[in-house]
Amino acid sequence: MNKIVLTCKEVWYYSPIDEELFFIWIKKIGSIAHFDGIGDELYLYFETNEVSEDDLRELLALFYRYKIDMKQLSRFLTEDNKKWFYGNKKAFWHKKVFGANLKG
């Protein structure tokens, strides 16, 4: 079992309620085992590198919304999700997760 930690650095909140909702959102993503932070970094801990499709879609939305480095999400690419996650090159996340010049 691989443990994964994603880093959310310098997350920008637009209001106190926005910040509160960010943490509510994190708590609703079942694949996140727990989280903590130091300074301007928040760490999301996962017990495995296989997350459900629903959780991956929530992570994509969360990271996009809060401008968190989405390249980290590429580690969740599997044969099961490759068609929609990587294969959909026009998706809002594709370049932010996989870069512009990848082939496959």
What per-residue confidence (pLDDT) applies to 101? 63
Residues with Cβ within 8 Å of 18's Cβ and at least 6 positions away in sequence, in order, are: none
Residue 85 structural domain:
4-98
Number of domains into which the chain is organized: 1
Query: DSSP for the chain?
Result: ---EEEEEES---SSHHHHHHHHHHHHH-TTEEEEEEETTEEEEEES-S---HHHHHHHHHHHHHTT--GGGGGGG--TTTHHHHTS-TTSTTHHHHH-SS---
pLDDT digits (tens, 9 = 90+) for 72-104: 999 999 999 999 999 999 999 999 999 976 554
Confidence of residue 10 (pLDDT cuts 50, 70, 90): very high
Query: What percentage of the chain carries pLDDT values higher than 90?
Result: 89
| Residue 103 placed within a domain | no
| Residue 66 placed within a domain | yes
